[in-house]
Amino acid sequence: MAKRKTPMLDELEKGKWPSFVSDIRQEAEWRNQTDVDLQTPKEVCDDLLDLLELSLKDQEGHWKHGGVAGVFGYGGGVIGRYCDQPEQFPAIKDFHTLRVNQPSSYFYKTEFLRQMCELWERRGSGITNMHGSTGDIILLGTTTPQLEEVFWELTHNLNQDLGGSGSNLRSPNCCIGKSRCEFACYDTQEACRNFTMEYQDELHRPSFGYKFKMKFDGCPNGCVASIARSDMSVIGTWKDDIRIDQEAVRAYVGGEFKPDGGAHAGRDWGPFDIVKEVIDLCPTHCMGWNGNKLGINNKECNRCMHCINTMPRALRIGTETGASILFGAKAPILEGAQLSTLTIPFMPMEEPFNELKELIEKIWDWWSEEGRSRERLGELMQRKGFAKFLEVCEVKPDPRMIKEPRSNPYIFWKEADIPGGWERDIKDFRKRHQK
Amino acid sequence: MGAEEDKKLIIDTLKCKTLKTKFYLKDFNNMFPDRSPREVSKLVNKMVAEGLLEYWSSGSTTMIGLKGAGIQHETEDCKE
């Protein structure tokens, strides 16, 4: 247990929600009783709790900002954390974080999880975060001498590598994809693994001015929220028509199938109303129902997925599938949150993904050349303009890239594009136009 | 310039900076205006592997400095 009284932490254990304080106390108790040959101080969890209580009391953090810590040959995956009160809390004077590259879609064997927990209790604090926002397994708190030891055991015994941190490519992340989901328009796990292996150098050694994230969503439902959280969002889509099974549509209307796969079953919402719950909710109003047949004007569909999610047995994604590629999302840094911008409306997604790799490398070169230190790709796109970004990508402007006419124009004519350039003969002009 | 001359230029430039010990990758790019950033980052990463430079990371950003310059692990728990 904590060495001091922790009244404020005690408050965080009250209520019906799970408490991280309770979890750390449980680990502290285990560490005090175990006969495992612990390689880090037994009191790490006690000191951590006491430090947190002090931070709450002082209303300021007691961790220094970063540090020189890592494993040989890698410039990412380890985040140096040093306490600014090492005399009061000697067990956590160095308490480094490790980011471990997660397996695609988080498929684990329980055997692996046991091995990893055993390793981390022995050589670390026993505290994990499954998973960090980027997707990695986060191992919180170990000492500097243990870093190489943990790394060796992870790579040799668990066959697991460190993930990205700092100004590196961060661990690519993907949704559950074709392994479990019928909406997946491409194999997200294959893409995620392929890009992870291809860009090992960028993942482990800082190559950029700042972080770069890529995420793979199998369909526009966006289960890894790539559109909001990654510099490069790869979102599955289809080119042809939504496949309709009219008999199954009628079965939904007749109450034979539950809408939304039986979700929202906590209360009685009344019988399924296809007009109210599907047709009228279509954002582009491209659907119609005549009481017997469902019609979709596929040209107007913007892939919102609502109708497919509501009636998955009746509606299916098209058969010509691939992905839309978007760039530049980020959380608030300089100018607030920004979603990524559609750049390639459709790209086939087949191994070895060369088309996408060629594109991303062009963008990396431009970002490295033009980007400022700590400037995300999305900020550079904003600063230089989308027209310039398209020029870098060697992609022509396309109406699908803009939200609505005249609201976000970015197409500017250059003199070379105009027959005769900017120069005009004023006399010739005056022949046709009076003053 | 050869690889050894490039390394010398980096080391000499960093040694001249008395106020700072950690630098962004961009600062290294500026030392070699005619080279591609990719080439420069490879050189910097090689120098880290050789023990001439070292990384410093805040977790979100990586900076690079001369090996042993500035605050080190051994001095983290010393009072400044």
Q: Which of A69, A144, A167 sits opposite B25 (nearest CB)?
A: A167
In 3D space, the residue among A101, A99, A87 whose CA is nearest the CA of residue A124 turns out to be: A99
Q: Is A264 exposed, middle or buried (0-12, 13-18, 19+ CB in 10 A)?
A: exposed
* CATH node for B3-67: 1.10.10.10
Going from N- to C-terminal start, the domains of chain B cover 3-67
* HEC secondary structure over chain B: CCHHHHHHHHHHHHHHCCCCCCECHHHHHHHCCCCCHHHHHHHHHHHHHCCCEEEEECCCCEEEEECCCCCCHHHCCCCC
Going from N- to C-terminal start, the domains of chain A cover 7-156, 173-238+323-416, 243-316
Helices (H), A157-285: 188-198, 200-204, 226-229, 246-253, 274-277
Task: Report mean pLDDT in 10-residue bins for chain A, 435 residues.
Answer: 82 94 96 96 97 96 88 93 95 96 95 97 97 94 97 96 95 97 97 97 94 97 96 98 98 96 86 96 97 96 96 97 96 82 96 97 96 94 92 91 69 80 86 87
Q: Which of B54, B58, B73 sits opposite A144 (nearest CB)?
A: B73
CB contact under 8 A, B62 and A76: yes
Are A302 and A284 contacting, i.e. CB atoms less than 8 angstroms apart?
Answer: yes
Predicted TM-score of the model (pTM): 0.91
Are A368 and A208 contacting, i.e. CB atoms less than 8 angstroms apart?
Answer: yes
The nearest alpha carbon in chain A to B29 belongs to A369
CB contact under 8 A, A68 and B38: no
Matching residue, tokens 């037994």: A42
Instruction: Indicate whether B79 pLDDT > 60.
Output: no
Contacts of B71 in chain A (CB under 8 A): 67-68
The interface predicted TM-score of the complex, written ipTM, equals 0.86
Instruction: Indicate whether B80 pLDDT > 50.
Output: no
The nearest alpha carbon in chain B to A84 belongs to B77
**Lookup: tokens for A353:** 């993904």
CB contact under 8 A, B59 and A168: no
Write out pLDDT tens, residues B29-66. 999 999 999 899 999 999 999 999 999 999 889 999 99
Instruction: Indicate whether B70 pLDDT > 80.
Output: no
* CATH node for A7-156: 3.30.70.2500
* CATH node for A243-316: 3.30.70.20
Q: Would you tell me how many other CB atoms lie within 10 Å of the CB of residue A204?
A: 22
Instruction: Indicate whether B23 pLDDT > 50.
Output: yes
Write out pLDDT tens, residues A387-416. 899 999 999 988 888 777 766 666 677 888
Can A7-156 and A243-316 be said to share one CATH topology? yes
Contacts of A94 in chain B (CB under 8 A): 73, 76-77
pLDDT of residue B7: 94
- pLDDT category at B77 given cuts 50, 70, 90 is low
> Options 3.40.50.410, 3.10.350.10, 3.30.413.10, 2.60.40.10; which CATH number does A173-238+323-416 get?
3.30.413.10
Are A410 and A385 contacting, i.e. CB atoms less than 8 angstroms apart?
Answer: yes
